[in-house]
Amino acid sequence: MSTGYPIDLHTHSIASDGALTPTELIVRAAARGVRIQALSDHDTLLGVVEAVAEGERRGVRVIPATELNTESEWGDVHVLAYFVDPKDDALEVRLRWLRENRGRRLELMVEKLNGLGYAVSIDRVREIAQGGALGRPHLAQALFEAGHVPTYDRAFETLISKDSPAYVSRVGLAPLEAVALVREHGGVPSLAHPGTVEGLERLLPQLVRAGLVGIECYYPSHTPAFTAECLRLSVRYELVATGGSDFHGRGEHGADLGGVFVPPESVASLETHQARR
Ligand code: AMP
Ligand code: ZN
Ligand code: FE
Ligand code: FE
């Protein structure tokens, strides 16, 4: 069944909270034999043009994408949007609003940290982000370099993950709104890392009714049993089984670019849905 070359439908660059520029990301992907890659930065398409250009030079087909992190009582619901258009101005207006909310959220987290005695500044966090969509990984980096935590991961574990003292919830889209937004703009939505959803069996039918097309079955932290469970759900709800490394360039999530098996049919099926739009 498996043919030939690595495909990766979930990756991040410095346009959001990844460590590599879009060019560096594609250079690395090409060196690893990846031939189809989605750049799926959080709430932004600003890295896509650069990635597509580098992909053309290196024989990597780059699919424009973004990952929308939502806010709800369903745990971490992230919606991947494939085949969205970086030139869609109306979509960019919505994405910019989400990025502005990211900035305000991190400002509030910095204030909380300062109140708890951890000296860290939003200006340093913004410097680390280098103009990319701000995220907690940038804050974790700032806490680490200021010596407040022994490792980057410990920043999440002790201070800024949900239920930690400096956590602030997101102002943004609810899961169904995210799926609807992607569909309104001609994109093809897939539910990212379904293992982080609380109440997946109850939420999934609602997402499907809102227009969900795919579910990320192939993902670094999935056990074979959970991948099988996701594949079962994909059959039951007629969803495309997607997958990717969620590579950010800091070793988190455990897989390098192209390091998670993704079947070529996955891309073909997403394209079929795009064509129907
Ligand atoms: P944000 O969008 O600002 O809420 O940040 C979410 C991002 O933080 C995710 O996409 C991951 O890259 C990263 N992240 C979330 N939880 C952890 C964790 N426990 N350890 C390391 N990175 C994490
Ligand atoms: Zn991320
Ligand atoms: Fe995610
Ligand atoms: Fe991601």
Q: What is the pLDDT of residues 160-200, one digit of tens each?
A: 999 899 999 999 999 999 999 999 999 999 999 999 999 99
Q: Closest Cα partner for 79 from 212, 205, 199, 185?
A: 212
pLDDT class of 1 with cuts at 50, 70, 90 = very low
Residue where the block lists tokens 């979930």: 10
Any atom of ligand 1 within 6 Å of the Cβ of 135: yes
Any atom of ligand 1 within 6 Å of the Cβ of 42: yes
Average pLDDT in the chain: 96
Any atom of ligand 1 within 6 Å of the Cβ of 252: yes
Any atom of ligand 1 within 6 Å of the Cβ of 247: no
pLDDT class of 274 with cuts at 50, 70, 90 = confident
* DSSP assignment letter at 196: G
Between the CA of 57 and the centroid of ligand 3 the distance, in Å, is 28
Report the nearest-CA residue for atom 2 of ligand 1.
Answer: 135
Closest atom of ligand 1 to CA, residue 136: 3
Question: Is a pLDDT exceeding 80 seen at residue 92?
Answer: yes
User: Mean per-residue pLDDT for 24-39?
Assistant: 98
The pLDDT score that the predictor gives to residue 12 is 98
Between the CA of 277 and the centroid of ligand 1 the distance, in Å, is 32
Any atom of ligand 1 within 6 Å of the Cβ of 194: no
User: Mean per-residue pLDDT for 74-95?
Assistant: 97
pTM value > 0.85: yes
Side by side, the strands of the sheet bearing 61-69 are: 7-8, 36-42, 61-69, 78-82, 188-191, 214-218, 240-243
Any atom of ligand 1 within 6 Å of the Cβ of 151: no
Between the CA of 192 and the centroid of ligand 3 the distance, in Å, is 6
Any atom of ligand 1 within 6 Å of the Cβ of 99: no
Q: Which residue out of 108, 153, 160, 252 has the highest number of ligand 1 atoms within 8 Å of its CB and is therefore the one to mutate?
A: 252
Q: Give the relative orientation of helices 175-184 and 200-210 as an angle to the nearest 10 degrees.
A: 30
Which segments of 116-246 does DSSP mark as H helices, in order?
Answer: 122-129, 136-145, 152-155, 175-184, 200-210, 224-236
